[in-house]
Amino acid sequence: MLDHGQAPPLTPEPSRPARPLLHSLIRRKPVERLVAEGGQGEGGSLRRSLTMWQLTMLSIGATLGTGIFVVLGEAAPLAGPAVTISFVIAGVTALLSALSYAELAGSIPVSGSSYSYSYATMGELVAWVCGWCLVLEYGVSVAAVAVGWGEYLNELLDGTLGFTIPEAISSPYGEGGYINLPALVVVLLAMVFLMGGAKESARVNSIMVGVKIVTLLLFIGIGFMGVKSGNYSNFAPMGQAGISAAAATLFFSYIGFDAASTAGEEAKNPKRDLPRAIMLSLAIVTLLYVLVAFVAVGAMPWQDFGGTEAALAQIMKDVTGQSFWGVVLAAGAVIAIASVVFAVLFGQTRILFAMSRDGLVPKVFAKVNKKTGAPRANVVIVSLFCGALAAFIPLGELANATSIGTLFAFALVNVAVVILRYTRPEMNRTFKVMLFPVTPALGFLACGYMMYSLPAATWIVFGGWMVVGLVFYFGYGIRRSRLATAEK
């Protein structure tokens, strides 16, 4: 008998001499071992301290604000007033995958999110590809959101102190400047808070999420007074193609609803709370997104959205005729976007923690500080990497690259839930996907359609990212994998 939390001994699977490489690529990590290793790191363990409410706030914190404060200004010119429909399409696509996430999170309550689910169902190579996509999803989206943070910070500074940060140090190269210093600053601030551990991080996140929800409700109330029916005329000027293109871009706005699943080893009751947190957070976020987008395109002609990432603050000023409300909105956006950076950065560090524990990336990412229970070295490395991207890469390219990585990972989750349902039907599942297997199949197809709608340049970036990831895996991970060392 094994003590609770003790990892069962690895039983080497019989190798097949004729196909040693194939055997390495398809070796799977048993669900029981994934769960037993939960929380264990190098020199310490993660602590189970997060409640269902805190997990929900983590997912909302990682999601709410990104699209509505930043990417809406880019999506509205693509779809016109029909951008509200684009939000719904992106939300439904996210929901189909969220159902699969909820089932797997309740069955395999560990850090690593879809990376861990793929390792248990489809083997090591697919798990690596998924994990590499998650690095793109979480790590790069931190940078993308941080880029938009500086726009609202300037709006706030202009309304309160009468000056803005010079473009040379508030815009990346290629957009009129040399470095986006505010974006780098917000990532480094998030890094400082994350060093304190999961419980302390959750408290900070909950406060920021509360502020951003109040801010958006305030915008809905005031912005509605400026709605003009004429702004909804010619509702879909770009047709279905424009709606689909905007939806693919706006899917970036839903990145983060799965953040709760990255905290599976720090949840007090993961089997019960993870599925609830995922579904509740997605419902709240989608409702707010659609309401804000509807009011925004009604209060400002869609043609005026291009070129500004602080559109909501501008609408508040135009509707009231007072700069005060624009300042209030900008202040709320500064906190809201900072909370996205904070929560998504948290998720990225936990994914790399799981990959490091499996031996696929260097051990430094799995080192846990005994005093705080936080993977501090991991946090510092990831923050510096994301901060550098935020400082030098334009927002648009980051958003699209993040979307394609996310969609690919979500597609794999829909496949994983089907495989696990058929290979392990006896498992205790605290949540089950409705209309199985139709729902995960639709989720897979929806992700594929959204990926197809992204521009060719994004596919080229994604292909390059995958090549780099495969080179790293075959040059490093395949030999250092804990499953590989156990087979020797």
Q: Using an 8 Å Cβ cutoff, are 321 and 119 in contact?
A: no
| Residues 6 or more apart in contact with residue 370 via CB below 8 angstroms | 43, 44
Q: In terms of Cα–Cα distance, which of 223, 351, 383 is closest to 291?
A: 223
Q: What is the pLDDT of residue 17?
A: 44
- The structure tokens listed for 367 are 């080192």
CA dihedral sign, ordered 465, 470, 475, 478: positive
Local confidence pLDDT in tens for the 488 residues of the chain: 444 444 455 454 444 444 466 666 778 877 788 777 765 666 666 777 788 898 899 889 888 866 677 677 778 888 888 989 998 888 888 888 889 988 988 888 887 788 888 888 898 889 999 888 888 777 777 877 787 777 778 878 887 888 888 888 877 777 777 888 888 899 999 898 888 777 777 888 888 889 889 988 988 988 888 888 888 888 888 888 888 888 877 877 787 787 888 887 788 888 888 899 999 999 899 889 889 889 988 888 888 776 555 677 778 878 887 778 778 877 887 888 888 888 888 888 888 988 998 889 898 898 887 777 778 899 999 999 888 888 887 656 566 667 788 888 889 999 999 999 998 888 888 889 988 899 999 999 988 887 887 788 888 888 888 899 999 999 888 888 888 776 55
Q: What is the pLDDT of residue 2?
A: 42
Domain map of the chain by residue range?
Answer: 49-487
Q: What is the pLDDT of residue 166?
A: 85
Q: Using an 8 Å Cβ cutoff, are 171 and 180 in contact?
A: yes
Q: What is the pLDDT of residue 13?
A: 47
Q: What is the pLDDT of residue 44?
A: 63
CATH hierarchy code of domain 49-487: 1.20.1740.10
Q: What is the pLDDT of residue 4?
A: 44
Q: What is the pLDDT of residue 416?
A: 93
- Distance from C-alpha of 163 to C-alpha of 238, rounded to nearest angstrom: 38
Q: Using an 8 Å Cβ cutoff, are 259 and 346 in contact?
A: yes
DSSP-assigned letter for residue 450: H
- The structure tokens listed for 304 are 């005026």
- The structure tokens listed for 202 are 């959750």
